[in-house]
Amino acid sequence: MAGIRFVPGNQITLLENGETYFPVMEAALDRAKHEIFLISYIFQNDTIGRRIADVLKRAALRGVKTCVLIDGFGSDNLPETMVADLNAAGVMVMKFRPGISPWTFRRRRLRRLHRKIVIVDQTAAFVGGINILDDFDTPDQPSPRYDYAVHVEGPLVRDILVSTQRLWSRVIQTRLRIRPRFSTRDRDQDRQAVFPESGGRMRAAFLARDNIRHRRDIEDAYMQAIEQAQVEIILANAYFFPGSKFRRALVDAAGRGVRVVLFLQGKKEYRLLYYASKALYGSFLDAGIQIHEYHNSLMHAKVAVIDEQWSTVGSSNLDPFSLLLSLEANVVVDDKKFAGTLKRSLEKAMAAGACQIRPNRWKRQSIRLRMVSWLCYGLVRFMTGMTGYAPGKDSG
C-alpha cells in the first residue's frame, strides 16, 4: 500500500493480554547478550513490575547494556527506591518529562510518552499497548485487562531500534544537557548492521508518531486503509474520539457497503472519557456501523483489521490525545494469516464479553444522557487541544 514503507521478510506474532505477553518478553530479556531497550508509559511497582525489574537487573549484571525509558506522568508513582535499585544493578533509567503536575496548563510539556516497546539484541522487538503492570491490578476485576502486543523478528527490528535510539538520545540530551551519544555516524553504522534473518514472510511497517516530522503517520495509515476498504473494517479502541475527517471516512465506508465494526470500552474507568465516547454513537449507528462495548474487564486494545489483510497493533488510541499530542508507536502488518488471527481473537472477545448497541435501543436513551455525552466530548477535545491534558491516567 502506497504511503507506508513496508519491510518484507518478518515474522510477526500476536500476543494477547499480559498473561501471554510477559512470559515471551521475559524469556527474550533473559536471553539478551548485548543490548536492551525498554520503553513504557507506565512501569508499576506491582508483581509484574518487580518481575520485569528483576529480569532487567539480571541482564545488566551479566554485562548487557540495559536502557529503560518511562513517562514522567504515567510512571510518577514508581518508587525512587525501585529506580535506585535498578541503577545500582547497572540499569540506566530515564524519565520522559518528569515532575510535571497534571494541572499545569502548558501544552508542550504535557505531551506524553505513550509508547510500549522492548528491543533485545537487534534480533527481537515487542510493540503494542501493554504497560509494565499487572493485568489484574483493578479491584473486583474478574478478567485480565484486554490488550495486545506483537513480537517482531526480522529486518523490521532495525526500524524500531533506530527510532528508539533516537528518542533515547534526545531524552539524554534534554535531561543531562550533553551531546547525544547516538550520533549521525552511529545511525549510519546501524543501517549497515547485519540483522539476523527471521525466516518470516510477512510485510510490516513501523510507525512512530512524534511532534516533529511524523505527526500524522499513524492517523494517515488508518485513513488510507479505511478509504481503500472493500469488505470489512474492525476497529478496537479503548478511547475513541476521532476527528470529523476520520468519522466521515468510516461513514463513507459503511455507505459503500463495507461492514464497519467498532469494538469499544464499556466500563466506566474514567467517567468523563466514558461519557464522551458515547457522543458519536447516534451518527455511527444511523450510518449502519456496528458498535460493541466490552464489559468483561478494562478494555485497552488499540488494534484494527481491514479486509482480512491489513492490520495494526500498537499504543495509539483514536483520540486527540494520541493523534495530536503523545509519542505513539504502531506496527502495521500486511499479511492475510496475521490479520485472520487478530480478527478471530477480536471476534472471540466480542462474543464472550461484549454487548452490541442496537440502534432502536440507543434512540431510547434519555435526552439528559445525550446532552451529558456531548458536553463531555466537547470538554475532552477542548482540554486536549488547549492544554494537552486528557483527564485520567490512561493505563492503556
User: Most distant CA pair in the chain: distance in Å?
Assistant: 63
| CA-wise closest residue to 69 among 113, 44, 39 | 39
Q: Which of 116, 151, 278, 292 is labelled catalytic?
A: 116
Contact 248, 255 (CB under 8 A): no
121 is catalytic: yes
116 is catalytic: yes
Q: Which of 114, 151, 292, 343 is labelled catalytic?
A: 114
Contact 128, 47 (CB under 8 A): no
Q: Which of 57, 151, 292, 300 is labelled catalytic?
A: 300
337 is catalytic: no
User: 323 burial class (0-12, 13-18, 19+ CB within 10 angstroms)?
Assistant: buried
214 is catalytic: no
Q: Which of 302, 335, 343, 394 is labelled catalytic?
A: 302
**Beta-strand pair 354-356/290-294:** antiparallel
54 is catalytic: no
Q: Which of 220, 307, 336, 393 is labelled catalytic?
A: 307
* Residue recorded with cell 454487548: 355
302 is catalytic: yes
C-alpha cell at 395: 493505563
User: 339 burial class (0-12, 13-18, 19+ CB within 10 angstroms)?
Assistant: buried
Q: Which of 54, 76, 85, 121 is labelled catalytic?
A: 121
Q: What is the 3-state secondary structure (H, E, C) of the chain?
A: CCCCCCEEEEEEEEEEHHHHHHHHHHHHHHHCCCEEEEEECCECCCHHHHHHHHHHHHHHHCCCEEEEEEECCCCCCCCHHHHHHHHHCCCEEEEECCCCCCCCCCCHHHCCECCCEEEECCCEEEEECCCECCCCCCCCCCCCCECEEEEEECCHHHHHHHHHHHHHHHHHHHHHCCCCCCCHHHHHHHHHCCCCCCCCCEEEEEEEECCCCCCCHHHHHHHHHHHHCCCEEEEEECCECCCHHHHHHHHHHHHCCCEEEEEEECCCCCHHHHHHHHHHHHHHHHCCCEEEEECCCCECCEEEEECCCEEEEECCCECHHHHHHCEEEEEEEECHHHHHHHHHHHHHHHHHHEEECCHHHHHCCCHHHHHHHHHHHHHHHHHHHHHCCCCCCCCC
Which positions are catalytic?
A: 114, 116, 121, 300, 302, 307
